[in-house]
Amino acid sequence: MIAAVSTIEKFKNWVEHRHQYARDWKARTGGKLLGTFCTYVPEEIAYAAGILPVRLLGSHEPQDVTEPYLFGMFCPFSRDVLAQGLKGRFNYLDGIAEAHTCMHINQAFESWSIHLPVKSFFISMPSKVQSPRSRPLLAGQLGIFKKEIEEWTGRSISDADLDRAIDIYNTNRRLMWDMYNLRKAPNPPITGQEAMFVALAQQMVDKEEHSQALRELIEELKTRKLNRDPGARLMLLGSEDDDTEFIKMVESVGATVVIDDHCTGTRYFWNEVDCVGDNRLESIANRYLDRTPCPNRDWPDRIRFPRVLQMTKDYGVQGVIMIQQKFCDPHEADMPALTAYMKKAGIPTLFLEFDATLPMGQFRVRVEAFLETIGQEDLF
């Protein structure tokens, strides 16, 4: 039985009532709401103009409204996101933004732009983040984005506005790591599902408010004891994943998720904007180029794999669940090499393919079998 912690309930409520939160925020502040298709959208710039960026996520309900717009081979996540727009669930948005991520979510963005009447912004985010040439390109693209935001809101973004936004975002990222670090404990004071609520809320709620709640949560966690056996320590990684029911199921069969490599988790808050010199846009660009890349951007060298491995060490991970959205080419391309890499490091992996809705019974059996192998002695 997990003792209820009111602060955690707050994060859960934010996630479960995200639309209400956004509407209330708008009524309260009179600001604009910008839906983001991906974590590469440089939110600091929009935030500096008084805009609240909110991540567009799916609802995990079966749907067929996207069929006329998206071919069935596009990932369930991108289709689910578009479905939310088409069903009017995000009709409070003033604008949408995408920084080129992958062709699937790009396509959802394009269809949204065609069929739903909101302002749209596209940032040409380079893919070869490892090239020094990407730095001036992205800084330049951010300059264009900044100008477009200024025109849209009718207010200019000063250096002081940017500094304030950067500071608020950096603080929030730092606090997320403070909370995540507590999960390194032998018996983590927070479950994986609870941590996922905190991480998801981070992408939907005003960062100042989120940080405030996070500070309270961290204080509570310092003395919190969970009356449960943590079981096997697991990592989740792979495609977009906001399935809190899946984590709940995993943690109900003798495991605790202690860390992740998801764009809905560590990849979102990985690093801070390190302001060097006067050019804030360059500093913001560097932050996005230096974060753990999604597979699409992880070439020619592999930056993500060693970081993932380091996390398994830091968090005492005993097994990794590799999650891949069906048809997610970026992660599909990485899976064989990553599986081999983990195997070489002696870390067991379980591969699961996600759809918008999950066959939970089947997954439970597979997770249980996986947990058994983790616990087993190597006899041969």
Partner 1 sequence: MTTKDIKRYKTKPFDSWKLAKELRMNHYREIAESRTEKGKKLLIGGGTESMLGLPAGLGEYVFFGGEPYAASMSAGDPAFAVECMEATESAGFARDLCAYMRDYLGSFLLDRYYFGGPFPKADFYLQTHFCDTHGKWYQIVSEMVGVPYFSTDFVPLRWDETVEGRQQKVEFFTGQLLDAIEWMEKITGIKYQDELLIEAVKNEFRTTSLWAECAVLNQAIPAAMDEKSMYSFYILAVLMRHRPEVVRFYEILRDEMKDRVANQIAAVPTERFRLLHDSQPPWYALHIFRYLEKFGVACVGANYEFGLSGGWDYKPGEYLRPAVPPQDRGVPLKDREDACRALAEWWLDYHLIARGIRFSGPGRNALVMHMLKDWHCDGLMIHLNRGCEGLAVGQMEIRLALVEAGIPVMTYEGNVGDPREFDEGRTLARIDAFMESAGLKILEE
Is 75 a binding residue for ligand SF4 by CB under 6 A? The answer is: yes
Per partner kind, with CB cut-offs from 5 to 8 A, the member of ligand SF4, partner 1, none near residue 239 is ligand SF4
**Shortest Cβ distance from residue 339 to partner 1 (Å)?**
6
User: Applying CB under 6 A, which part among 22-30, 87-95, 102-110, 121-129 lies near ligand SF4?
Assistant: 102-110
Token duo for residue 8: 């955690």
Binding residues among 303-342 for partner 1 as defined by CB under 8 A: 324, 326-327, 329-330, 332-337, 339
Residues between 195 and 224 that touch partner 1 (CB under 8 A): none
The closest alpha carbon to 293, from 327, 321, 330, 335, belongs to 330
Residue 152 or 351 having the CB closest to ligand SF4: 351
Residues 142-181, mask of contacts with partner 1 (x by CB under 8 A): --x-------------------------------------
Residues of span 326-345 touching ligand SF4 by CB under 6 A? 328, 330-331
- List of residues 6+ apart from 64 with CB closer than 8 A: none
Tokens of 334: 């990485």
CB of 262 vs partner 1, minimal distance in Å: 18
- Phi and psi based region of residue 208 (left: phi greater than 0; alpha: psi -120 to 50; beta: remaining): alpha
Part of the chain binding partner 1 (CB under 8 A), chosen from 82-90, 134-142, 203-211, 252-260? 134-142
According to the binding rule CB under 8 A, does residue 299 interact with partner 1?
Answer: yes
240 binds, among ligand SF4, partner 1, none (CB under 5 to 8 A by kind): ligand SF4
Structure tokens at 363: 């997954």
At 306, is the secondary structure helix, strand, or coil?
Answer: helix
In the complex, the smallest distance separating the C-beta of residue 84 from ligand SF4, rounded to whole angstroms, is: 14
Strand 232-238 to 319-325 pairing: parallel
Q: Which residues of 41-79 are buried (b: 16+ CB within 10 A; e: fewer)?
A: bbbbbbbbbbbbbbbbbbebeebeebeebbeeebbbbbb
Q: Does 104 bind partner 1 (CB under 8 A)?
A: yes
Q: In whole angstroms, how close is the CB of 70 to partner 1 at the nearest point?
A: 6
CA distance 309 to 303: 11
**Of residues 100 and 183, the one with the C-beta less far from ligand SF4:** 100
Whole-number Å distance between alpha carbons of 259 and 177: 11
Contact flag: residue 134 with partner 1 (CB under 8 A)? yes
DSSP 314-373: HTT--EEEEEEETT-HHHHHHHHHHHHHHHHTT--EEEEEE-SS--HHHHHHHHHHHHHH
At 20, which amino acid appears?
Q
Q: How far is the CB of 134 from partner 1 (least distance, A)?
A: 7
Does position 104 bind ligand SF4 by CB under 6 A?
A: yes
Which C-beta is closer to ligand SF4: that of 106 or that of 191? Answer: 106
211 binds, among ligand SF4, partner 1, none (CB under 5 to 8 A by kind): none
DSSP category for residue 252: T
User: How far, in whole angstroms, is CA 296 from its chain's centroid?
Assistant: 15
Chain residues that interact with partner 1, rule: CB under 8 A: 67-71, 73-74, 100, 102-104, 106-107, 110-111, 113-114, 122, 124, 126-128, 131, 133-134, 136-137, 140-141, 144, 295-296, 299-300, 302, 324, 326-327, 329-330, 332-337, 339
